[in-house]
Amino acid sequence: MTLNSKTITYEQLAKVIDHSLLRPELTDADVFAGCELAARYHVATVCVKPCDVKLAKEALKDSDVLVSTVVGFPHGSNLTSIKVAEAQQVMEDGALELDMVLNVGQLRSGKHDVVREDIKAVCDVAHAGGVKVRESQSDFRECLSHRRRENYSLQTQRSRGSRLGQDFYRICVRRRDA
């Protein structure tokens, strides 16, 4: 059955929504309230700052909403070793999905192997889990031609060695045990 505006249910629609709680000024109370809202509407995930993963995990423990967080946010310019350490820590804290920001400057500089290895290093750490590569700047689509974007994501998919959904520059998977 093909989903469209006439056949999709509220529940199906809610399960494709990632509720974002990434504003830097959010307090613990704000994050908790955002988690309660996400649980009430049964969205797919709540994406919080790395420092809020434990709080979100606790707030969502009796819900069907997964905890998601960011790696290398907001610019993707962290060293790979820092992204790897960040991914390890947030997974230990309870994140079941990671949104990794790729290094757009390196990509625009034509250092595709560097970017690919950066992504692979975090994917390897999240071996049982998932990494979502997100654009970090609005001009990312202009960085590469349509053909190069498509090839980049396909090469990244092959380097991960698993089935990944893709939207040119985006890779999305969830932890199998989630």
For the chain, which residues make up each domain, given as ranges? 1-68, 72-178
10 Å Cβ neighbour count for 102?
A: 26
> What is the structure's pLDDT at 158?
34
State in words which class domain 72-178 has: alpha beta
Cα–Cα distances (Å) from 85 to 17, 47, 92, 109, in that order, read: 27, 19, 11, 25
Distance CA 33, CA 27 (A): 10
Q: What is the pLDDT along the chain (178 residues), one digit of tens a residue?
A: 677 888 888 888 888 889 999 999 999 999 999 999 999 999 999 999 999 999 999 999 999 999 999 999 888 899 999 999 999 999 999 998 888 888 888 888 888 889 888 888 888 888 656 555 444 443 344 444 433 443 344 333 333 333 333 322 333 333 334 4
pLDDT of residue 132: 52
pTM attached to this predicted model: 0.74
Q: Count CB-CB contacts under 10 A for residue 25.
A: 5
Which pLDDT score is estimated for 103? Answer: 86
pLDDT of residue 35: 98
